Amino acid sequence: MLASFCPECGGELKFDLSSKNFICKSCGLFASREKIDELRDKADRDNDDPRTRRRDDYLDWWQSSKKDKQQK
């Protein structure tokens, strides 16, 4: 199965035969395979953006403990 993990939360996806859509067991995402692929592509593009990476690095630093901040 290509889409076994949810692009939103990383939870397990199950395929519903009656609706022909995927359903996330964790967050309840209900989407077709095309929509799942679109969400994954969008997430990949966001990760490639240098501004997003820089912001994420800053947030990681901000959320770390004071002791960790002094070591950096």
Q: Which two tokens stand for residue 34?
A: 């095309």
User: Beta strand pairing status for 21-24 and 13-16?
Assistant: antiparallel
Please report which confidence band the pLDDT of residue 1 belongs to, taking 50, 70 and 90 as the band edges: very low
What residues contact 25, with CB distance under 8 A and at least 6 apart? 11, 12, 13, 14
Q: What is the pLDDT of residue 71?
A: 64
Q: What is the pLDDT of residue 70?
A: 65
- Does the pTM surpass 0.95? The reply is no
SS3 state of residue 26: coil
pLDDT tens digit sequence for 19-71:
999 999 999 999 999 999 998 888 777 667 777 778 878 888 888 876 665 66
